[in-house]
Amino acid sequence: MTDNSDPINNLTMIFGYGYSHIFSEVTESVRKMHISKEQLAIIEYLYLKQEATPTELSIELNVHKSSIAHALRKLSLKKLIHTEKNILTNDNRSKLISLTPAAAELLDEFVSNIQNIIASNIQGLSEEETQALTDATRTIIKIINIDGGLYNEARA
């Protein structure tokens, strides 16, 4: 039996469970599409920022430009990104990268899968337990200073 009085241990267990169980479901979908971690990081960044240049992606994701170029070619072949001339510069070589609707749907599916798994895990809670969980999650969000994470940032 574990001691549930230590919030650090409790959060470690929660995050560990989330990582090993919930995100394994998501990564299985990613694996089926043969999307690397680097490609997924690009998709996530574009989901939040709407568009970016390859140089911006390289800097923000701390990845070498040649790796970004390779990942972008792969994402383009999968029809998950769209490339167009950057009208903000006079350089015809400068490109803006954005997500296709298929990529946005993929991320929405990931979020939906996560929400469904969490919902199935908490469906048997009483009204009081649900309220206590809501209060605890609000406190965690406040302490960690998360403002909705990937899902809500993209919709702001």
For residue range 94-140, what is the model confidence (pLDDT) as tens digits?
889 999 998 888 778 777 877 888 888 889 999 999 999 999 888 88
Please name the residue ranges forming H helices in the chain: 7-17, 23-32, 37-49, 54-61, 65-77, 101-122, 127-144, 149-155
How many CA atoms, within 13 angstroms, populate the side-chain half-sphere of residue 63?
A: 20
For residues 137 and 118, is the Cβ–Cβ distance under 8 A? Answer: no
Structural domains for the chain: 7-123 (1.10.10.10)
pLDDT of residue 77: 93
**Which of the four pLDDT bands, split at 50, 70 and 90, describes residue 151?**
very low
Residues in a beta bridge with 96: 84
Q: Which amino acid is at 8?
A: I
- pTM of the predicted protein model: 0.64
Q: Are 60 and 52 in contact (CB under 8 A)?
A: yes
